[in-house]
Amino acid sequence: MPELKKYKMFINGEWVNSDTEKIFETLNPENNKPWAAVPEASVSDVDRAVKAAQNAFEGEWPKLLPKERARYLRMIGDKLRENAEHLGKIETIDTGKLYRETYKQANYIAEYYDYYAGLADKVEGTVLPIDKPNIQAITTRIPIGVIAAIVPWNSQMFLTATKLAPALAMGNTVVIKCSELAPATMFEFAKLIQETGIPKGVVNVISGFGEPCGKALTSHNLVEKIAFTGGPETARHIIRNSAENLSEVSLELGGKSPVAVFNDANQENAINGITAGIFGASGQSCIAGSRLYLQEGIYDEFLDKLSNRAKKIKIGAPMDPETEMGPISNYKQLEVIEKNIKLTLEQGGRLKCGGQRHSFSNEGYYFPATIIECDNHNLPVAENELFGPVLSVMKFKTEEEVVSKMNDNQYGLSSGVYTSDLARGMRVSKAIRAGITFVNTYRLISPTAPFGGIKDSGYGKEAGLESIKDYTRVKTTWFYTSDEPTLDPFSIR
Ligand code: NAD
């Protein structure tokens, strides 16, 4: 067996093992063989990382001119572009995501650092129209302190960028906890961070499990904000943990995103968007458009075309440039997918295509594009987040009916509408209770576009102009502008 690649954690600018020397292995989903070993952070490792971040916060970093911090962000962006090939390969080995996607993503993510570099010196304060004589009062925005950034396995580079870039731009320091399911890319990324010469302790990367590592981090008394992306159950733990340190929490959680196709939609365009939305990244995407509502006039014809397209998706090795769908990342997820499909079929769901493990390889968990017709959207595959390539399909008659059905789910992350009537596109978008609506398109991200959900999909937005302010707090400063002493020390004015 080939020797495992060994990673270390990045704490206070140094590469370290866990003080317990404990390690765990990470698997390559293509063959489910371990390929790398990473440290398992203990409570005291977490403490070391947080204290390093706190020291850095008390040091020069927040005092640098914004344009100086921006320079580091631009360097991070440049390094991402220069190393996109390598990062893409590592990400593909560790997650099973397609190299053609991970490589492009590593390049594109650089733009998040460029964007927040540009914003670093654009956040202004205010002068208050104060109601008192001889007083001038202003507000400024100050950095928060140590940020705990916790990311899931599926898009770590992207989900780190949406936290790290605004946090650094505003002068905070950060401890990133990578996912135990695919930690390697974050250590490769930490090497690039180190090469920028950023002061020690400003960025720290640790690896470990929810317990003890995640728990210790999210309840640590020096952590001031937790920026979390992951599942709703984990979010509940984190909120409970944050009762210990009273830190601010932002949550980017799961989704069960609905997509409606009206009779007048451009069908070819809709099929492309729906295919990207649910079968891209083998459906392992938080914004996966996994509930499809087809208007009755096009139902049969559209569904046939869509399933013909789905059957043609090329399943294969994730490094192969021809591959369109790679493996499911881990066995736990495969089990969730299979269990939900089984229950749905027992309850009357009708399989249109897929539904069983794919024979491409019996080492990795390859699962084909699966489409299941459901008479109601309370069947398991139409209701639960599966994080896999499974599309539930339902029929609707009217706009009012479909809006109500689209809203009838605990999540509210993304949504989609296909129609050639843009007035309707706008109406439906306004009526859907979700953080994102795509009209006649799907699966787009941009540093300029806020990303995040409502309802059980979480709160707080990442990316976009607004998000930069989420990494600051407002401070009010009062100036007394008279040369005369103040009067009556025992009265509040
Ligand atoms: P997860 O919730 O299991 O894990 C996410 C992270 O939380 C991991 O780093 C994990 O170690 C950590 N964690 C686990 N228990 C913890 C605890 N008690 N305290 C602190 N940290 C803890 O999620 P996952 O399975 O890795 O990822 C899939 C989920 O993430 C899906 O629900 C998906 O929809 C969601 N997701 C959301 C977005 C978004 O932006 N809304 C993006 C990607 C993924």
My answer on whether 207 and 347 are in the same domain is no
Q: How many domains would you assign to the chain?
A: 2
Q: Does any domain span residue 490?
A: no
Q: Does any domain span residue 491?
A: no
Short-list 227, 233, 302, CA closest to 262: 302
Q: Does any domain span residue 221?
A: yes
Rounded mean pLDDT of the chain?
97
Task: Determine the structural domain holding residue 299 and report its residue range.
Answer: 258-439
Distance, CA of 438 to CA of 272 (rounded, Å): 13
Whether 276 has a pLDDT exceeding 80, the answer reads: yes
* pLDDT average, residue stretch 399-404: 98
Q: What is the pLDDT of residue 97?
A: 97
Q: What is the pLDDT of residue 150?
A: 98
DSSP 379: S
Helices (H) then strands (E): counts for the chain: 15, 23
Ligand 1 nearest-atom number relative to CA 234: 2
Instruction: Using DSSP bridges, classify how beta strands 9-11 and 454-455 pair: parallel, antiparallel or unpaired.
Output: unpaired
Quick one: pLDDT band at residue 91, thresholds 50, 70, 90?
very high
Quick one: pLDDT band at residue 80, thresholds 50, 70, 90?
very high
* pLDDT average, residue stretch 283-289: 97
My answer on whether 289 and 322 are in the same domain is yes
My answer on whether 77 and 164 are in the same domain is yes
**Residue 252 backbone dihedrals phi, psi, to 5 degrees:** -115, 105
Pocket around ligand 1 at a 6 A CB cut-off: 150-155, 159, 177, 179-181, 209-211, 214-215, 218, 229-231, 234, 237-238, 241, 252-255, 286, 385, 387, 413, 453
* pLDDT average, residue stretch 126-140: 97
Whether 302 has a pLDDT exceeding 80, the answer reads: yes
My answer on whether 317 and 238 are in the same domain is no
Whether 240 has a pLDDT exceeding 90, the answer reads: yes
Q: What is the pLDDT of residue 491?
A: 84
Short-list 386, 390, 311, CA closest to 355: 390
My answer on whether 406 and 461 are in the same domain is no
At 49, which CATH number? Answer: 3.40.605.10
My answer on whether 243 and 106 are in the same domain is yes
My answer on whether 203 and 308 are in the same domain is no
Encode pLDDT of 99-110 as tens digits.
Answer: 999 999 999 999
Whether 493 has a pLDDT exceeding 90, the answer reads: no
My answer on whether 357 and 334 are in the same domain is yes
Short-list 231, 220, 227, CA closest to 255: 231
Whether 362 has a pLDDT exceeding 90, the answer reads: no
My answer on whether 208 and 333 are in the same domain is no
Encode pLDDT of 36-67 as tens digits.
Answer: 999 999 999 999 999 999 999 999 999 999 99
Strand order, beta sheet including 370-373:
350-353, 370-373, 390-396, 291-295, 258-261, 416-418, 438-439
Distance, CA of 271 to CA of 158 (rounded, Å): 26
Quick one: pLDDT band at residue 1, thresholds 50, 70, 90?
low
Pocket test residue of 40, 50, 150, 157 for ligand 1, highest count of atoms within 8 A of CB: 150
Q: What is the pLDDT of residue 2?
A: 76
* pLDDT average, residue stretch 360-388: 95
> Contact 182/207 with Cβ under 8 angstroms?
no
The catalytically annotated residue of 40, 101, 252, 338 is 252
At 385, which CATH number? Answer: 3.40.309.10
**Residue 6 backbone dihedrals phi, psi, to 5 degrees:** -110, 130
Q: Does any domain span residue 209?
A: yes
My answer on whether 367 and 334 are in the same domain is yes
Ligand 1 nearest-atom number relative to CA 209: 11
Encode pLDDT of 200-229 as tens digits.
Answer: 999 999 999 999 999 999 999 999 999 999
Encode pLDDT of 445-467 as tens digits.
Answer: 999 999 999 999 999 999 999 99
* pLDDT average, residue stretch 20-24: 98
- Is 252 catalytic? The answer is yes
My answer on whether 275 and 235 are in the same domain is no
> Contact 174/76 with Cβ under 8 angstroms?
no
Q: Find the 153 Cα to ligand 1 centroid distance in Å.
A: 7
My answer on whether 149 and 266 are in the same domain is no
Quick one: pLDDT band at residue 361, thresholds 50, 70, 90?
confident
Q: Which stretch of DSSP H or E encloses residue 330? A: none
Distance, CA of 211 to CA of 216 (rounded, Å): 8
